[in-house]
A and B are shown apart, each in its own frame.
Chain A
């Protein structure tokens, strides 16, 4: 087991662990943000079903902003692994 770890370390250093940490920590924030956004949107939808279209559009826009942060973390992980 130890020999395996040493072998992996010699070839690629700590790259895989770096990539894993990058995406793992980077996805926590956006996940919480999207959950909060969606829950508030559901609340608003329940209170005012007539505004459903407008609420839905704005919610999707806001979710895209939050998800972009997770995508940045993913791109960093991919760059660490493949470049």
Chain B
């Protein structure tokens, strides 16, 4: 401590750090409880499915899809830089990629035994690099915070459309998708499914809070302040139609398009002027980490397990590989049962891969949002570090597990004590038959 106080530069930095910590603590959610929260913002909507950026015709362009293509683009550029002029004494990028390759070549050769392991390399390295970059790009600033504003009316439109698709079939849902609320209610207002959908919409989302954005022109910003004061609840501005007359439908649509506070609701911090000068809606981010979408992780997992099966068939042939799972249940009942379990296990691995990567990344995203909400300026810093570390570990785990499953798949089934497998009794662990091993030894 003496050294700290005697060195003025160090002291200044320490005081600055403590001041920032104190200010962000008072400005965040805890400070909001004390009445202070001036740096806070409304907590964003966290939802499982990915949201779409724009609609091209009927196709919805999802924000995670765009991020995955961005990851691929970054990867292509880096690889181009690394392999432009391959020298004997490598430059920076080439050195980096050689590090990755050395790690995986060593792993592949030790897992699968000798140079045969190199057949795993393309798929495993591709999985590693793809998952790594799609994880890491999710921590960039701007991801999850910059986006378009989905107005209250669009939100209601989508939710009711989704509900109608479940209950009434896709005809009516497509009708709603193509038309505005006015036209739709004119035509289908008396339909009971529609009425029930609206009732359910209020039941599910009546308590949802929407953010009041500053500014009525093209761009809007979330105002600084005590986080929850810039949110408005759905049941403060809209009420459920009771008799579903045409007039009530009109009122409903009007309430969605021009939100005003209902006559007797209490609204502490916001006034009607705030609602008029701003826009009520939700933030739909333009970018969202690609691995936070279940579809991406499922696709990569299916690709990995399909590759494992392909490797198995390539190494052992159709009968050899199939013979590991399918046995004659009459002569070998226990083996048949175990084989069936292993077959089911192959499919379960897809689920396991998917949820391991998805759970880690989605939980990381929620953690970042929660920490940014609690301790605004600096709370997020250690958790960004954690995110980077976890992203790398999960990518490595995905690739290494694919490699291990692949090397298990090319091992032939070892039956040392069976009569009908005389010639095949002694398989070496890397799946080569003794004849081929003998040839290799001669070389």
B254 to chain A, nearest CB (A): 26
A71 / chain B contacts, CB cutoff of 8 Å: 355-356, 359-360, 363
> Whole-angstrom distance between the alpha carbons of A75 and B351 in the complex?
12
**A residues within 8 A CB of B401?**
61, 64
Cross-chain contact A83 with B359 (CB below 8 angstroms): no
Mask of B315-359 contacts with A, CB within 8 angstroms, 1/0: 000000000000000000000000000000000000010011011
Quick check: A78 and B356 within 8 Å, CB to CB? no
Instruction: Judge whether A64 and B393 touch: CB under 8 Å.
Output: yes
Which residues of B have CB within 8 Å of A21? none
Say whether A74 contacts B363, CB under 8 Å: yes
User: How far is B355's CA from A75's CA once the two chains are assembled, in angstroms?
Assistant: 8
In the bound complex, residues from chain A placing their C-beta under 8 Å from that of B206 are 11
Assembled-state Cα–Cα distance A39/B341 (Å)? 32
Q: Taking the complex as formed, is B272 at the interface, i.e. its CB lies under 8 A from any CB of chain A?
A: no
Contact in complex: B397, A61 (CB < 8 Å): yes
From A71, which residue of chain B is reached at the shortest CB distance? B359
Size category of the A interface is 10 to 19
**In the complex, which residues of chain A have a beta carbon less than 8 angstroms from the beta carbon of B352?**
68
Closest Cβ–Cβ distance, residue A4 to chain B (whole Å): 14
For residue B374, CB closer than 8 A to chain A, the reply is: no
Asked if A1 is an interface residue, CB under 8 A from chain B, the answer is no
CA distance A61 to B394 in the complex (A): 10
Contact with B along A50-73 (1 / 0, CB 8 A): 000000000011001001100110
Inter-chain contact B47/A82, CB cutoff 8 Å: yes
Q: A68-B352, A82-B48 are in contact. Are A74 and B397 (CB under 8 A)?
A: no
Residue B400 at the A interface, CB < 8 A? yes
Would you give the 0/1 interface string for B354-390, flagging 1 where the beta carbon is closer than 8 Å to chain A?
0110111011001000000000000000000000000
Q: How far is the CA of A72 from the CA of B401 in the complex (A)?
A: 17
Query: Which one, A67, A68, A78, contacts B362 given CB within 8 A?
Result: A78
Q: Please tell me if A28 contacts chain B, counting CB pairs below 8 Å.
A: no
B77 at the interface (CB under 8 A from A): no
Chain A neighbourhood of B394, CB < 8 A: 64
Residues of B bordering A, CB below 8 Å: 46-48, 206-207, 352, 355-356, 358-360, 362-363, 366, 393-394, 396-397, 400-401
